[in-house]
Structure 1
Amino acid sequence: MQLKLKGKFLLPTTLLIILGMGTIAFGSYSLARKTLEKELIEQMQLMVASLSQNMDALIERTKMDLTAWSHQEAFRKAIQSFSSGDMLEESNRLLSALQEAYPFYETVAIVNSSGSAVSSSDVKIIGKISIADRDYFQRAMKGEVALSDVLASRSSGNPIVTVAAPIYDAETRIGALVGIINLAYLTHLYIDPVKIGQTGYAYIYDANGIMVAHPDPKQILTMDMHDYDFGQEMLKKETGEIVYEWQNLLKIAVFQKSKNTGWTVTLTAGSVEVFAPIRRLGIISLVVALLVISVEIIVIALLVRSIIAPVMQSMRFANAIASGDLSATIFSRRKDELGSLIQSLHEMKSRIAQALQETTSVLRGVEQGNLAVRGNPEQFPGGWKELILGVNAVTEAFVAPIKLTAEQLERIAKGDIPEMIQTEAAGDFNLIKNNLNLLIRSMNEITQLAERMAEGDLLTNIAERSEQDRLMQALNAMMLRLRNVVREVKTIASDVAGNSENLSSSATELSEGVSEQAAAAEEASSSMEQMAANIRQNSDNALQTEKIALKASEDARKSRESVTQTVLAMREIVKKISTIEEIARKTHMLSLNATIEAARAQDFGKGFAVVAAEVRLLSTQVETAAMDINEVAGNSIVIAEKAGEMLDKLVPDIQRTTELVQEIAAASREQTMGSAQINKAVQQLDQVTQQNAAISEEFAASAAELNGQAEQLQELIAFFIAEKEEEEELEDVDKEMTVEKETPKVMPKLKHVSSKPNKRKSVTKKHVRQAAREITDDYDEYKDELDDEFERY
């Protein structure tokens, strides 16, 4: 932004005043705020340290008191004689007296070594509670005066903490004296009285971050410092200060952690309330600074105004002269430097008007075509005279070059290219001469380029006159595109010729291969028919084998049943033989009795004795035969059972064989169907092969025709010279060229290649047209805006 002179006076001065007063006011405010903040934090640190010390002292005092009271004989006897009513009454009375004397105790009790309450100031809990699993009791039983974590009281709901001191009988720990401290009482005693302003207060949280003392009872045992960012930051430190937001109020907090209890005492104050006096002081300082700044600006503005008025008058006059208004006037009665400046401006305006009038007369003559008119420098002094002489010299310097340039351009416009300008010139006129010569040389080069292109030479390049020479760039780009197109066409023609020969050879080989493939297909068809017959025979054999296997399986099953019946019959025979053995034994016994009775009868029993002897002999033979039959029968049973076991093993194998034979029969049937399908496919393949043979013959004829047309294309494109190794051919052409234009060489006509007509001929022509389109597309891909200036055919 461009400032005016008045602004340049007022703005820096005003900024300096504002900066100075602002720095003083801000410095005073910042110093006062920092001083107050430092004093506040120091006072809060002292208060926090005092509260922490008081809490530690109270806990230590409690530990010492419980340790001293634990030596009471009544407490030791209460544990040893729990069933004695007199001792318990004395112990309960002492505990109640302690609770009344120290109101911060909620309950004072005695527990035995098993953790059960044996005496208490609250008789309701005697024998009903056990603290054996509590950490503080276990530590007390190890000889330590232990402090528990903060918990909620079951009876009152207040936060409590328990102190346990061991009770000794000689050197043996027999129980503990337990004091339950009501932290609500301590809060009322130490925390509630602490106030900093209207919104400042103190609170305590334990090592786990749980609020144990707070002016708001709703926060006690429910607020967890881990749930808040500022709480997490405070838990990481043992002491310090922090600024945080609580219930939309900015707070300053100082905290200190007790090493004895692990509790952290925190004192907080409202930032807005604490710094309210400092803000009021800042507002007063700001108002005073604004008043001082306003008065100073008014005084400076009055001083600047008396200086700026004549300067502004001179500036308006100078602007009018600069804009061409020579009718403006200026006048001042001041006798100081500003008055002299105004007078000098008035004289300057008169000289400018006179010089302008003389220059205008010369310019009007030039505009009217009168290049002989000149200014009169004699009526001007000093530099004004030099100005008029300079105007005359400029007019004279323009005459000769302008006339020469007009003549040369007229000849070029008519197509008559003139000779190069040899006249010496200086300065910008030499630049005009050089540019005209460059134009003449370029026109000559373009003419020569066109003549060589007419002879088929595409290797010529033209030097660019500048980076903006679009004509030469377009001609060079056209030559490059034409060379690329010709090279691509030559390459494609050569590739087409070579590929056509390969194509013809491949077509011949394809025809021979197709014929061999047809013969192989016929042999494959014959082999498939024979294989189909073999598969059908295998299928019939598999069906017969399946029937035999099923019959064998059935016979084996029936044999197993016969063997089972034989075993049962043999076992029945063994039983009958056992009966016969028994009968023989009894018959032998009867024969012995008969012999004894015959002996007693003496002569009358001799005949009966002979009969008895024969009967005994017969019974012996019968018993011997029965034993032999029994042995044979037993062996027969073992053999029959083994045969049955072998049949049991044989039947599953025969069944598995039957299943395999069935699968073989099914596979044979599937092979029969598959062979039929393969035979059909081979026949179709034979038909396709025959068709391919006919097509390959047509393909060979088309390849021959394509080869002839590729040779024609090579002869046609040979007219153009697009490679450097072809430059030698241009030398003969240059020798034959004369000043007078001869009849230009024409491109050879396309010869007709006669070929036997066939139905594939149209495909070959389509390929040639496709190659031409690809050449055109390649040209379109590399063209730029310079190519659009030329007509395309």
Structure 2
Amino acid sequence: MRLGGLYVKVGIRTKLFGAFVVMLGFLVVLGGISIAHIVKTNQMLSDIKKNEEIMVGYNDIAFHTVRSNAAIRGYMNYKKDFMKENHYSIREEVHASIDRLKELGVTDAKFVQFEKDFVAWEQAIDEQVMPLIDANKLPEALKVSAPILGEGSQKLVVFSKDNAKQIDKQIASEIEQMNASGSFIFILTAIVVVVSLIVGAVLAFVFGNGVSRAIQQIISQVKQFASGDFTVTFDTKLRDEFGMLASSMNEMTSTLGNTLNQISSSAEQVAATAEQLTASSQEVSKATVDIGGAIQNISSGIEKQNDKTQHTGQQVNNVAHETDQISMKIQSVNEQTDLATEKANQGRDFANNVTAQMDTILTKTNQITTSLHELKAKSTTITEMVAIISNIAEQTNLLALNASIEAARAGEHGKGFAVVASEVRKLAEQSGNAAQEIHALVDTITAHTDQVVQEMDSNNASVQKGKEMVDLTGATFADISQAVERVQAEANDVTTAIHNMHENIQSIVQDTNSIVSISGEFTDESQTVAAAIQEESAMMEEVAAAANELAHMAIELQESVSQFKY
């Protein structure tokens, strides 16, 4: 992410959390608007209900006043006691309606005056009309009751009707205001929903496209890397976990390339050293054959020495000359074995270094595999967060459905609220669908991550196989070194034997008279030397075979390394 000319590292988790916060912000705004509208609507509905009760109270007062008036007129005309009782009963209902209006908060001056007028009307009936009716003075009762039951009762009825009509108009105004508020909230909700959908779509497209492009690029480069091309360079321009993964992959390819280069060079040196060791062992074998032949000649000459004592001096000189040559060849053998020992030790040390490098490679690849497993765990965390979002959407949908049911029960007054509940339910369904799309995207990321882990596991197996081959090479060098040390020890024994033989020959030169008696002993020593020479020859054959095996292993190692491009 670029901010103020600088690149800011923003991880995938942060991006997804930011998108979630933005969408949650829109949901909070929409929820706040809906709650405010619901509170306001409930208040208006409460006021309308209260006004309806007041209107009903005024209508009841007007209706019962007319009934009470009719009852007293009927009593006046027919003198039926039940009509009188009905009159007083209706008056009690009027008082109940007046008390109900007081409970509803109707305490204005006009209402107080109305209550006084009604009480005065009742007193006029009780004190002026009823006594005349009970005294059967009907003409006087009609005359006295005319203004009371006419203008007086009409004034009470008109006041009640006028107040009922005024409250009815107020109710209609409140309903109209509530409808207008509902329309405004509907438009505002629609705008918020559209904006949130657009922002959500843009965020999903931007983040999804970026993640998909990064994964496709890494997959392509990993396939090239898996084919043995260690020259591939992963793109590290990304400032998230994919950039970290690409940087780690570049370090791994560089380390593997350098290690393979060292292995190839070491294999060439091992092959050259093995060839040189083979040639040296062949020379030593040839020299030991010559020594064996010389020893046999010496033994044959000693056997004939008893018959040819006159040639003793000449034969002794020949033997001395031959022993000098043998001593020189043994010295050459010692030098070659020293060189072979040095080369074998170098090969063993180099194999140990290569083993250490292979261990480093294996450690790096294991670290990368661990990082990929951590990436998979983070994807699982994102999936759990998406599940929470889906659960919230389902709960919101359920609440909207319950609100629609309550609005349906409210009838005409709940239609506007039903529309809002329907829109909230649609928004919840859309949020659930978006959560499912995010879940599918996270599943795709997890599948690709599993594929990368499998390829890294395959690479680990290849590195482990290379390490085993290098370990086998180191063990072979150790065997060669031990074999050369044994050859050197045998060569030292031969040198000692040759030195002793030379001293014996000098003794023969000094004392030719005792040559016959010494010849038997010298024959035994020559046989011992011949046996030692044969042992040395067998050892050198083993050295040559080990050198050939080492050269063959070095060639196989070169062929294995040549499969990779670095």
When the two structures are superposed, what TM-score results if normalisation uses the length of structure 1?
0.20
Max Rg structure: 1
Structure with greater contact order relative to length (CA < 8 Å, sep ≥ 6) = 2
From the two aligned structures, give the one with the greater strand fraction. Answer: 1
When the two structures are superposed, what TM-score results if normalisation uses the length of structure 2?
0.26
